[in-house]
Amino acid sequence: MHENMNTGLRGLLLVSALAAVMAGCTKEDDLSSVSKEMTVFEVTSEFPTQKGATMNITHNGPADCRYAGCAFEYGTSIDEAIAGKIEELRSDLAEDAMLAFDDVTFSGNSSTDVVTGLLPNRKYSYVVFGLDEDFSVYGTRDTCVFTTQTGAAPFNMHVVVAETRTVQVEVQTNSRFDDTYPYYVFWTTDLETPVDRLIEKEVGSLDAPAEVIDHGRKIFNVPDDFPGTPDLEPGKKYRIVVTGLYDDGTVYGLPVDMTFKTDRGDLPYYEHEDWVVEYTGKGLYSGRAVDNITVTSADEERFFISVVEEDRLAQAGEITQALLREVIAQETEAQQKVIDEYAAFGIEATWYDYSYTGTVERPVEALEEGEKYYALAIGIDVDGVVTGEYQVSDAFEPEVLSATEDYLRWVGTWTVSANYVDQDDYLHKVSFDIEIKGSVPGIGYTVSGFGKVDGLMEEDINVPDIGVLYDDETGAIQWIGSYLGPVDMGDEIGYSASIYFAALADYDVIAGENFVMAESRFTDDGNNSASVVATPFKLDDGSMFTAKSMGYVAQMPYIDGYMLASVNPSLDEDIRMVRKTGENQGE
């Protein structure tokens, strides 16, 4: 992932500033030689909204001539629209003695009319025409056509109850709208057709749209509340749509398009013969000790991975359908809660992010030693609906690792000395203590305190511990990119961010998981000093990237880019590490 640093709510940030230069052109203000009667008007539209648009009007006649304009429904006669506008102006002037003709018409060789009060997702025309004070029309009029925006989805819906042959779906008006907004609900077995084409076909088949419109909060029973539609079948997927619909059959607003699946009932779950699930040992992932599960698959069917205790899935060593059904339901619900919790932090997450195809190795939270487990691949689609397919590993006990003498050499407290260049290009000589603790013997460690230098950052964030890998071939520590989860940005900011330990170069940030950006190697025989040097690594596009510094960055909700959340020591020169306490020196 290749991103730019973004300015934000912190003081010391890596900032990339782009200056936008706007150039304007002007006309000479010479009086036109064209007579008022020969004036030609022009109008164009821009900035459409749900309720209108902005009209830009120009003409080549005298600057002091008066003119008017109006929006009207597309397809209406232009002459009728002009007559209606003139009648409106006459009425306004008659009802308000304080109004003058100049108050309700335009002048000048260019002007802007901001149109409001229209309906969303409809096509309109706008006409501009010359108008004298006696309401006679002159000049060559002009028109343009525009469409108002759909805006936010006015409605939302969710499944209340799913049974084998019936499903209850609740539809209600979005909190930004009131209950007077009309909508139409329909369901279908068609899961592929784009929703706009589906709506066009469905609404086009309605004889009397006004008779099928609903308002406000309502629970629909599928299929009972939809006469003429087929029965539902157990374990099948269907699609339901709600769209804004006016009495005249005009569709408006963004539709809500959702798939649902009936309960499987007594239908059996069945093993996917082409999936192989295996436990593949201990590991370290984004700073956390993990156990690794590998699923080997040659097809493109989606699955998610779960690990459960042996007694949850088997009785006397035998996996039963009843236990299998219960476990799959529980594990699916638990994974859905994880996805929903990320949304609470403003992080977009879906089942697409938590399910896989093909052959993958995925980490799970470290398991308890001495206990027996099963690993499961559970068939799922991107909507979170189980397919009925699964595969299970053999029962296994988590791997138990022993720490070697070489591995333990890094454990202890170290003082790190480095250079740090702030946003004003000022060079700081910094030092801070880090503590390296054993995490997964022979595989990795946990490091706390990296980049923590009091006084250099305007707002100190209590950054989480990071994980580093141990290279058993060279004896080096490998500093890796890590996603560390949500972190509180403080009371003043009032919301959370996603924190990464990342590679930086100028204004570029490479954030991700488990890529090696730098290494620490011992520089003396006593294992009491070491240096940290950058190691080039390959990006997804095949290009190589070398970090110039590394540190914590925060990705804020709803902004593009990252903000620096700690001092980021420079890798242009080696970062020095000197042992303070640990393997070779006492406390």
> Could you tell me the pLDDT band of residue 350, with boundaries at 50, 70 and 90?
confident
> Could you tell me the pLDDT band of residue 13, with boundaries at 50, 70 and 90?
very low
Structure tokens at 433: 């203590």
pLDDT of residue 583: 61
Rounded Cα distance between 17 and 286, Å, is: 31
Amino acid identity at 20: A
pLDDT of residue 558: 60
Rounded Cα distance between 479 and 569, Å, is: 13
In the predicted structure, residue 378 carries a pLDDT above the cut 90: yes
Closest CA to 550 of 535, 540, 528: 535
Condensed to tens digits (0 to 9), the pLDDT of residues 459-501 reads 556 778 999 999 989 999 999 999 888 776 655 445 567 889 9
Region 81-109 average pLDDT: 94
Q: Tokens 């804004």 appear where?
A: 244
Neighbours of 369 (CB within 10 A): 10
pLDDT of residue 19: 21
Rounded Cα distance between 549 and 363, Å, is: 28
Q: Are 220 and 168 in contact (CB under 8 A)?
A: yes
Region 448-454 average pLDDT: 88
Considering only 109-123, 135-149, 556-570, which range has the smallest mean pLDDT?
A: 556-570
Bridge partners of residue 538, in order along the sequence: 544
pLDDT of residue 26: 32
> Could you tell me the pLDDT band of residue 161, with boundaries at 50, 70 and 90?
confident
> Could you tell me the pLDDT band of residue 458, with boundaries at 50, 70 and 90?
low
Characterize the bridge pairing of strands 529-534 and 516-522.
antiparallel
| List of residues 6+ apart from 318 with CB closer than 8 A | none
In the predicted structure, residue 307 carries a pLDDT above the cut 60: yes
> Could you tell me the pLDDT band of residue 347, with boundaries at 50, 70 and 90?
low
In the predicted structure, residue 582 carries a pLDDT above the cut 90: no
**In whole angstroms, what separates CA 410 from the centre of its chain?**
39
Condensed to tens digits (0 to 9), the pLDDT of residues 100-111 reads 999 999 999 999
Q: Are 451 and 566 in contact (CB under 8 A)?
A: yes
| List of residues 6+ apart from 455 with CB closer than 8 A | none
Condensed to tens digits (0 to 9), the pLDDT of residues 67-83 reads 999 999 998 999 999 99
Closest CA to 347 of 466, 496, 465: 496
Region 277-291 average pLDDT: 87
Q: Tokens 């019936």 appear where?
A: 166
Amino acid identity at 525: D
In the predicted structure, residue 24 carries a pLDDT above the cut 50: no
Condensed to tens digits (0 to 9), the pLDDT of residues 195-237 reads 989 999 999 999 999 999 999 999 999 999 999 999 999 988 8
In the predicted structure, residue 586 carries a pLDDT above the cut 60: no
In the predicted structure, residue 9 carries a pLDDT above the cut 60: no
Backbone angles phi, psi at 80, to 5 degrees: -65, -40
Instruction: Report the residue count for the chain.
Output: 587
Condensed to tens digits (0 to 9), the pLDDT of residues 165-190 reads 999 999 998 876 778 889 999 999 99
Considering only 2-6, 59-63, 582-586, which range has the smallest mean pLDDT?
A: 2-6
Longest dimension (CA), the chain: 102
Q: Assign residue 224 a region: left if phi > 0, alpha if psi is -120 to 50, beta otherwise?
A: alpha
In the predicted structure, residue 540 carries a pLDDT above the cut 80: yes
> Could you tell me the pLDDT band of residue 330, with boundaries at 50, 70 and 90?
very high
> Could you tell me the pLDDT band of residue 346, with boundaries at 50, 70 and 90?
low
pLDDT of residue 85: 97
Higher pLDDT, 316 or 196: 196
> Could you tell me the pLDDT band of residue 122, with boundaries at 50, 70 and 90?
confident
Considering only 282-286, 305-309, 335-339, which range has the smallest mean pLDDT?
A: 282-286
pLDDT of residue 455: 73
Structure tokens at 409: 């050499």
pLDDT of residue 295: 97
- The domain made up of 155-261 has a fold known as Immunoglobulin-like (2.60.40)
| List of residues 6+ apart from 175 with CB closer than 8 A | none
| Range(s) of the chain covered by CATH 2.60.40.10 | 36-147, 155-261
Structure tokens at 523: 């520089």
* H/E segment holding residue 482: strand 482-488
Considering only 49-53, 394-398, 417-421, 479-483, which range has the smallest mean pLDDT?
A: 49-53
Average pLDDT across the chain, whole number? 86
Question: What's the CATH superfamily of 36-147?
Answer: Immunoglobulins (2.60.40.10)
In the sheet that holds 167-173, the strands lie side by side as 155-162, 167-173, 218-222
pLDDT of residue 3: 47
